[in-house]
Structure 1
Amino acid sequence: MSQQQWSFPMFCPNCDSIVSLDDKQGFCTCPDCKRKIPMPQMNRQLTWQHVERFSDNRKAVASETKSQESGVTVKRKCFRCGHDLMSYSTRQTRSADEGMTVFFTCLKCGEKEIEHS
């Protein structure tokens, strides 16, 4: 017994138009030349595969924390533990004509503070 490969869209062998699926009669009918093409039995089970890929950013977060702790330091009192040394980094979080946002990290307890300048 020969095995047929059947996939849609299927094209008419006469005029190369896309034929429509008409499984009630067992044929596909071409809308242009009206040729009836025999259709094999079809399995009505729909199968698909869904793959989601996420990067493992735990290493990136750990390296960012270490870089903040060993980055530029400034004398600034932590509101949580009272330690007087913090590291900081700046980022442009708003439009270019506004000031930078400064992120402070306490070197003792890890508390984070934000200052919009």
Structure 2
Amino acid sequence: MSNTFEKVPGFCPDCGSILPPLREKGGVTCYTCSRVFAGDLSEVFGSSSVKYTIHFNSREAREKDNKEEKKDEEDEGPTVERKCPKCGNDKMSYATLQLRSADEGQTVFYTCTKCKFKESENS
């Protein structure tokens, strides 16, 4: 096949498509023309290399994230002043969904922050 494209590292010399990233073992197959490059990959990647660093969270950061997740689970979304019909608590969290047709209002789901009683309202 004749090379009609300028050879640029990381791009297929036949069709000009970007090549997939290198794997630890094996060759590379072009996404577009399915040409397989095996063996010496310097033909298509030149002398380019990729370096990466994996940063692990400290134990303190993980514990902080876990506490924040638990707090989010307790609230279950934004809150509004609304009296719970079951326990009388004056704070409920809510979520909205468009369950009916687009020209009708959305459905609001309320959850009591104290007893977890759930109710819905079509607006």
- TM-score, length basis structure 2: 0.40
More strand by percentage: 1
Instruction: Tell which structure's C-alpha radius of gyration is larger.
Output: 1
- TM-score, length basis structure 1: 0.42
